[in-house]
Amino acid sequence: ETGVTQTPRHLVMGMTNKKSLKCEQHLGHNAMYWYKQSAKKPLELMFVYNFKEQTENNSVPSRFSPECPNSSHLFLHLHTLQPEDSALYLCASSHGLDTGELFFGEGSRLTVL
Amino acid sequence: AQSVSQHNHHVILSEAASLELGCNYSYGGTVNLFWYVQYPGQHLQLLLKYFSGDPLVKGIKGFEAEFIKSKFSFNLRKPSVQWSDTAEYFCAALISGGYNKLIFGAGTRLAVHP
């Protein structure tokens, strides 16, 4: 149990579907992150939120749309994805932006057909 | 561009062998360094971190890492590995800037055979 919960754990979607990934943290942290993990590639930072405000958008295509309604919840809305978007999407949280100590969820495995 | 490089994608060792995983970063400013570990079927978790002070950092489960500024390196070591150390290991660097960013390497998959 990490204190960071991601749902769903697995998701299969077609290129025309719209779906969302959800992340919830019970650690009282102020910062939340989305990372993309693909085989044999570095973890790619996608988005960062600090106190519900987006502080980083790492040139992510607009077919990925984040939402952070409060410091405990983070969503990643998906629409018209491509097969190359298939990956493990990791959510993480941290107390602040300067600790480097992130607490990760177990990830949502996304397959785009 | 800022980046973190891990030299080995796969490492296979026998139990009791010594381990050293390489990590280099490319950034000329202040940087804080980390090793994360992901055991099979589990989430990523912090193994150890370096912020300042003694460049030899000790972490959990007998792991240690040495920060060598002149080589831009932060290699992970363990004198005697166990089967339970089988996992994927990620080096990361916290780059200071307008907003700090934690940048990861591609990971090294370690398999320890009994």
Average pLDDT, chain A: 92
CA dist list (Å): A55 to A45, A97, B50, B56, B93 = 12, 10, 24, 32, 18
- Could you say which of B4, B102, B105 has the minimum Cβ distance to residue A102? B102
Q: Which of A97, A112, A88 lies closest to A19 in space, CA to CA? A: A112
pLDDT of A58 above 90 = no
Residues of chain B whose beta carbon is less than 8 angstroms from a beta carbon of chain A are 3-4, 9, 32, 34, 42-46, 49, 90, 92, 94, 99-107
Picking from A43, A50, A106, the nearest residue to B43 by CB comes out as: A106
- Tell if the CB–CB gap between A42 and B104 is shorter than 8 Å: yes
Of A2, A41, A43, the CB nearest to B43: A2
Q: What is the pLDDT of residue B83?
A: 96
The answer to whether the CB atoms of A100 and B34 lie below 8 A apart is: yes
Task: Check pLDDT > 90 for residue A1.
Answer: no
State the average pLDDT over residues A12-30.
94
| Cα separation values, A100 from A23, A103, B51, Å | 19, 10, 10
Using 70 as the pLDDT threshold, list the residues of chain B that sit under it: 98
Please tell me the predicted confidence (pLDDT) of residue B29: 80
Q: What is the structure's pLDDT at A25? A: 97
| Disruptive mutation site among B101, B103, B108, B109 for chain A (greatest number of A CBs within 10 Å) | B101
Which pLDDT tens digit goes with each residue over A62-75? 999 999 999 999 99
Give the whole-angstrom CA distance, residue A78 versus residue A64: 5
Give percent of chain A above pLDDT 90: 76
CB nearest to A100's CB, from B3, B44, B49: B49
Q: What is the DSSP string of B22-36?
A: --EEE-SS-EEEEEE
More confident residue, A55 or A91: A91
pLDDT of residue B19: 97
| Neighbouring residues of A60: CB distance < 8 A, sequence distance ≥ 6 | A46, A47
Smallest Cα distance from B94 to chain A, Å? 6
What tens digit of pLDDT does each residue of A75-85 get? 999 999 999 99
Instruction: Say what the pLDDT of residue B98 is.
Output: 66
Q: What is the pLDDT of residues B6-27, one digit of tens each?
A: 988 999 999 999 999 999 999 8
Q: Write out the two tokens for A100.
A: 């480097």
pLDDT at position B95: 84
Q: Is the pLDDT of residue A11 over 80?
A: yes
- CA A35 to chain B, closest CA, distance in angstroms equals 10
Count the Cβ atoms, other than its own, within 10 Å of residue B82.
13
